[in-house]
Amino acid sequence: MKIKIIKLSILIIFIVTGGLIGNEYSNYIMSNDWQLIFSKATNLLNNGKSITAGNNISVNGSFKKNRFTLNSGGFSVYTFKKNTSHSGFIKKIQQSKDLKIEANTRREKTDYYYETAFDYLISQSPFSQNKIDEIQKFPYGFDTKYHYFYAPENQDEYNYQIFWSSEPNGLENENMGDSRLDIFQKDIYSLEVLQNSTNYIIAEKKNNLYVINTIIGIIIGLLTSLLLFRIFKKKSKKPVHNTV
């Protein structure tokens, strides 16, 4: 009876140990996979905190009084950066819209105003045009086996205005809260920009990894215990010697 209790205790110990091994193995795999998806995003940043790319196309539209209505063309600026509040990332898209010019103001070629605003926006972060495709596609293609990038909140979308005057360094983005650079001169140009900003965090895919690896660990524990039982049983058998 005592031998049976010992054997049962050993069996339970190996089953529990196998389960713990399976759980630790799952944690190890998940941790490495999390580091992989995080490094894929940081590689996009060239090991920096933010990166910007974009394109600007010749505009097509029409003026009515002092307002230019954009039909096609203009710029799109893509910014990708780390979220300082958690281990996530932010993707921001800024697209040009209509242009307003104060009355009695000499007009340049319309493309000039869009180019000026475009140059201003891409100067706010390190510019890397060869990253534009990756930023545009993010988060698609960045998944790993067990993790993906998830947007837990609705996209933050709104319009804002970029103002500037004919004076040098007279450009201002009211959304960024910059102090006015030309306080004594009225703004005579303003360009509407649509901004879309999305926060992404790393989330686990729904899978049975923990369950599968725990079961594997238990099976290993059972097989090991059976093997040890056989060894223990053989050693416990004492040879019988005949006496004359």
d(CA 196, CA 129): 19
The DSSP result for 171-232, as a single string, is EEEGGGTPPPS-TTS---EEEEEEEEEEEEEEEE----HHHHHHHHHHHHHHHHHHHHHHHH
Q: What is the pLDDT of residue 242?
A: 53
Q: What is the pLDDT of residue 232?
A: 66
Q: Which two tokens stand for residue 190?
A: 């303003």
What is the rounded average pLDDT of the residues 162-183?
49
Length of the chain: 244
- Report pLDDT digits (tens) over 173-208: 544 333 333 333 455 788 899 999 999 999 988 777
Q: What is the pLDDT of residue 12?
A: 76
Q: CA 111 from chain center: how many Å?
A: 34
d(CA 129, CA 78): 10
Ordered by start, the domain boundaries in the chain are 2-32+208-236, 48-204
Asked if 136 and 123 count as a contact pair (C-beta separation under 8 A), the reply is no
- Report pLDDT digits (tens) over 125-157: 899 999 999 999 999 999 998 899 998 876 777
Q: pLDDT exceeding 90 applies to what percent of the chain?
A: 38
Q: Which two tokens stand for residue 182?
A: 């030309």
Model confidence band, residue 237 (pLDDT cutoffs 50, 70, 90): low
- Report pLDDT digits (tens) over 39-69: 999 999 987 889 999 999 999 999 888 889 9
Q: Which helix (H) or strand (E) holds 108?
A: none
Q: How far is CA 172 from CA 77, 99, 234, in A?
A: 17, 15, 86
DSSP state of 127: B
H-type alpha helices, the chain: 2-44, 110-122, 132-137, 209-236
